[in-house]
Chains A and B, each alone.
Chain A
């Protein structure tokens, strides 16, 4: 079945959602990401949704769940690239994605993750920062 690939870049996991999110694909992504965070020890998860034409309550809940699960596993999730029409619709739907950090684009999202790594005394690589 369809799976969304997860890339590891330094201490972050990067996911770009390029497909129309089927409910099962969303559930699989949630499970795959949880497994990958533990296996890789990643401290940040960047989810790019710039290709998503809609975020309904199911997809919104999946993003919120991923953020909560990541936090419990000591990683921070940043959702980036939301289209303006999607943001307007989400808020009107009643879903403001509480607890989900967002950034305008992937570059700013990575900057947020790097800030967290720096605060933890880690570099963008895996190991602790050099003295």
Chain B
């Protein structure tokens, strides 16, 4: 069977090393420019993506980032989904609080990414993994 035709508006980037964090940043920047986000909005969504890509690597043991350009009747923007099959987050509300960290970070990543995004959702299951979706549009 022929592989499905890739959608040019969707990019998937595997997150396995620190280099992949830079790759995610560059891809998100490219999509944000393409869709015409302002410089501040570009910077916010790229920074949020950088935080979440690092979380995926450090806490999720690696995973996948899917970057999608959203164009519908009312808005245009960039949506990014981060998925890992890591240990999951026991208390999501707690993890979103500033300063909360279980690792070597500053505890700004998850809550900071939420503040920098206009759309944010998180689903996590212990032992199964975590999925975070963010978007920023105009």
Contacts and interface: CB of A to CB of B under 8 A. Distances in A.
Q: Do A and B bind each other?
A: yes
Interface of B: 18-19, 21-22, 25-26, 29, 39-40, 42-44, 46-47, 50-51, 54, 98, 105-106, 108-109, 111-112, 115-116
Nearest to B53: A56
A92 B116 contact: yes
The interface size bin for chain A is: 20 to 34
Contacts, number: 69
B98 A22 contact: no
B19 A22 contact: yes
Interface stretch (A81-89, A101-109, A118-126): A81-89
Interface of A: 20, 22-24, 53-58, 60-61, 83-86, 88-89, 92-95
A60 B115 CA distance: 17
Is chain B's binding surface mostly helix, strand, loop or mixed?
helix
27 contacts: A20-B26, A22-B18, A22-B19, A22-B21, A22-B22, A23-B18, A53-B43, A54-B47, A56-B47, A56-B50, A56-B54, A57-B105, A57-B106, A57-B108, A83-B43, A84-B40, A85-B40, A86-B43, A88-B40, A89-B40, A89-B44, A92-B116, A93-B51, A93-B108, A94-B108, A94-B115, A95-B112
